[in-house]
Amino acid sequence: MGQLVGCVTVELDDLEERITELRGEIRLAKAGGDDAKVRRLRAELRKAERAWDDALEPDFEPDDVPLLPIREQVHQALTLLGVPSATKMIVAVNEAFFAGRVTTTQLTSLRRDEEKSFRSSPYARPYYLCPALTAELLSPARGLLAISTWPMDVRIIGPLSPRTGFLTSAIRVAEHITRLTGAGGDASTEAYRLLTRMARNIPGATEGFGRADPARVISAADAELVVHLESDRRHRREAAERATARLNEVTRLFGAGLKTASRSAS
Binding site for other proteins (CB under 8 A): 86, 88-89, 134, 137, 139-142, 159-163, 165-166, 169, 198, 200-201, 203, 224, 227-228, 255-260
CA–CA gap between residue 61 and residue 56 (Å, rounded): 15
CA–CA gap between residue 172 and residue 206 (Å, rounded): 17
What minimum distance in Å lies between the beta carbon of 126 and other proteins? 27
What minimum distance in Å lies between the beta carbon of 75 and other proteins? 21
CA–CA gap between residue 74 and residue 91 (Å, rounded): 8
CA-wise closest residue to 133 among 152, 113, 111, 108: 152
Supply φ then ψ for residue 167, to 5 degrees. -65, -45
- Using CA of residue 185, residue 186, residue 191, residue 197, what is the dihedral sign? positive
Q: Nearer Cβ to other proteins, position 26 or 252?
A: 252
What minimum distance in Å lies between the beta carbon of 14 and other proteins? 46
What minimum distance in Å lies between the beta carbon of 127 and other proteins? 23
- Strands 156-157, 129-134: pairing is parallel
Q: Nearer Cβ to other proteins, position 99 or 137?
A: 137
What minimum distance in Å lies between the beta carbon of 238 and other proteins? 12
Burial label for 173, CB within 10 Å (0-12, 13-18, 19+), is buried
CA–CA gap between residue 58 and residue 52 (Å, rounded): 10
Q: Nearer Cβ to other proteins, position 76 or 87?
A: 87
Q: Nearer Cβ to other proteins, position 48 or 212?
A: 212
Q: Nearer Cβ to other proteins, position 76 or 134?
A: 134
